[in-house]
Structures are given as C-alpha cells and as structure tokens.
Amino acid sequence: MKTSVETAGAVTILHLSGRLDTKGASDLEKEIQTILPSVAKHLLLHLKDVDYVSSSGLRVLLSAAKSLKQQEKSLALAHLQEQVREVFDLTGFSGLFAVFTTIEEGKNGLPEQ
Amino acid sequence: MSTPRNLVLDGSGDVHGETRLFIERKLAGLDEKTLNHLLLAVEEFLQNILMHGFAGHEGARKIVIAVERKHGTIVLTIADNGRTFDPRSFPPPDIAADIDHRRPGGLGIHLARKVTDRITYERTNDMNVLTIEKDTP
C-alpha cells in the first residue's frame, strides 16, 4: 500500500494505491494514526488506485470513522473501483460515509464547517 | 516451474501473500472478477483461522490449500488443524447499523459467503475442512 497526503482547506486527502487486504489494511491503519491529529475537518480517502478491499480494510475504515466522529470530524471516500463498491454494498458500508464519484467532487462537496 | 497440487503452510510468514500467489497461478486465465471473489473468500477464511482457529494453539500448525477446476466450477479447499470451527454457524452481521452501532469484525465470513456459490464444512481427522465452490460465468 502506497500513500501520499495532500491538504486542501478543511480537507486532508490521503491518496492510496494498492490492495486494501490484510497487509494493506495494516499499512493504512498506521498511516491514518499518524495523520489523524492533523485532520482539520474531513479525511478524504482517494481510492482510484485501490482495486481490492477485504474486511480487514473495512475494519480500519470503520475505526477511523469512529475516531473522527468523536472529534466532530468525518471520513469521506472518493472514486471507488468496482470491487470496492461491491464490498461496500454487500456490507452496508456505502451508507456509512460520504462517497464521491471523483476526488474533485469530494474536495468541493465537503462542507468547510 | 509447475505449481504444486497443494499449498502447505505452517501459519507463519506471509500466509496471505503465498496463498494469493498460489491461487493466481492455479487459476491463470480466469476472469478477474471471479478470481477476486475467490481471493476475497479465501483471505477472509484464512484470516479467521489465523486470528481465531489458532488462538492459543499449541504444537505445529498446518493449513493446506487446494484448488481445482471442475467443469464450470472452481472448487477450493482450506484445511487447518486449529480449533473446531464451522463458519456457517457464524451469525450474520447487522449491515444496516450506523457508525455508532457498528462493531469491528464479523463482516469477513459474511462477505466470503456472499461472493461464492456454495460452502461446505466438515471436521475430519482433527482438521477443519472448508470447501468453497464458485461457478464461473
């Protein structure tokens, strides 16, 4: 799992590349722990280059969403690939987060406050 | 180099990575969607074995994975010598719950069942034997 971080106003964008399997989820968990304190309002995960997610990845996303919500912040996702969308639909995760078609829509669609 | 019939693992090292490579080799040419469904199901069951089946396990650990094509069906078996566990007995998660009412875990087996066609389980010779079947398109 490769990651890079970008900040755009109240939105911290985490670009991900690779498989969000058991190994990738472990990498992502560490990365999120590192950047969580610096998230202003929203953490937006860019998933364009993630073509596979398993329940290990879902567990990390849920944990991040819970932590952010406690601080009145939010987790959002952009650009889901087919396999990722299917797994989200099968587990009800599609309804847990704001999901945007593209990263640009995410940047523009998340409220400043 | 030909791929061996079975993959035998001792539960240490990169279990998921070795398994994925083995299955991808055995199922070379299979469409990506079907392959990803099988890889997902196997990862979920394997993770369950590693986390729960072998928890507190003393002595040598053994996982044997086999995969074959039977006409229009992929048949994949995972055998392990961990504690007795029938994943079919696992209660389904509440997938309508919101973030506050979500508990971590419980989704893996649910997913594995959703993306495959038939799953059977038996306990034979002190091994859990799980057979996963997926019809090809």
Task: Residue A65: give its domain's CATH number.
Answer: 3.30.750.24
Model pTM score = 0.94
C-alpha span between B40 and B47 (Å, rounded): 11
- Whether the predicted pLDDT of B83 surpasses 90: yes
- Sequence letter at residue B107: L
Q: Please give the class, per CATH, of domain B6-135.
A: alpha beta
| Beta bridge pairs of residue A49 | A17
- Whether the predicted pLDDT of A91 surpasses 80: yes
Helix pair angle (A22-35, B15-26), 10° resolution: 130
State whether A52 and B114 contact (CB < 8 Å). no
CA distance B48 to chain A (A): 11
pLDDT band at B1 (very low <50, low <70, confident <90, very high): low
Half-sphere exposure of residue A9: CA atoms within 13 angstroms, side-chain side: 8
Average pLDDT over residues A36-65: 96
pLDDT band at B4 (very low <50, low <70, confident <90, very high): confident
- Whether the predicted pLDDT of A111 surpasses 90: no
- Supply the mean pLDDT for chain B: 93
**Tokens found for residue B104:** 């971590």
Token pair 């055998």: residue: B79
Token pair 């992502």: residue: A28
The residue ranges of every structural domain in chain B are 6-135
* Predicted pLDDT at A113: 64
State whether B17 and A54 contact (CB < 8 Å). no
Average pLDDT over residues A22-39: 96
- Sequence letter at residue A65: A
* Predicted pLDDT at B3: 73
C-alpha span between B73 and A74 (Å, rounded): 43
* Predicted pLDDT at B91: 84
Chain B within 8 Å of A87 (Cβ-Cβ)? Answer: yes
C-alpha span between B80 and B50 (Å, rounded): 10
* Predicted pLDDT at A112: 80
Average pLDDT over residues A70-90: 96
C-alpha span between B63 and B13 (Å, rounded): 13
Which residues in chain A are closer than 8 Å to B115, comparing Cβ atoms? Answer: 86, 90
What is the share, in percent, of chain A residues with pLDDT greater than 90?
A: 94
C-alpha span between B104 and B39 (Å, rounded): 21
State whether B43 and A69 contact (CB < 8 Å). no
pLDDT band at B88 (very low <50, low <70, confident <90, very high): confident
Please, where are the H alpha helices in B1-137?
15-26, 32-48, 107-114
Count of structural domains, chain A? 1
pLDDT band at B56 (very low <50, low <70, confident <90, very high): confident
Element (H, E) at A78: strand A74-78
Residue of A nearest to B41 (CA): A54
- Whether the predicted pLDDT of B2 surpasses 80: no
C-alpha span between A102 and A104 (Å, rounded): 5
pLDDT band at B109 (very low <50, low <70, confident <90, very high): very high
> In this complex, which of A59, A87, A96 lies closest to B104 when CB atoms are compared?
A59
* Predicted pLDDT at B105: 76
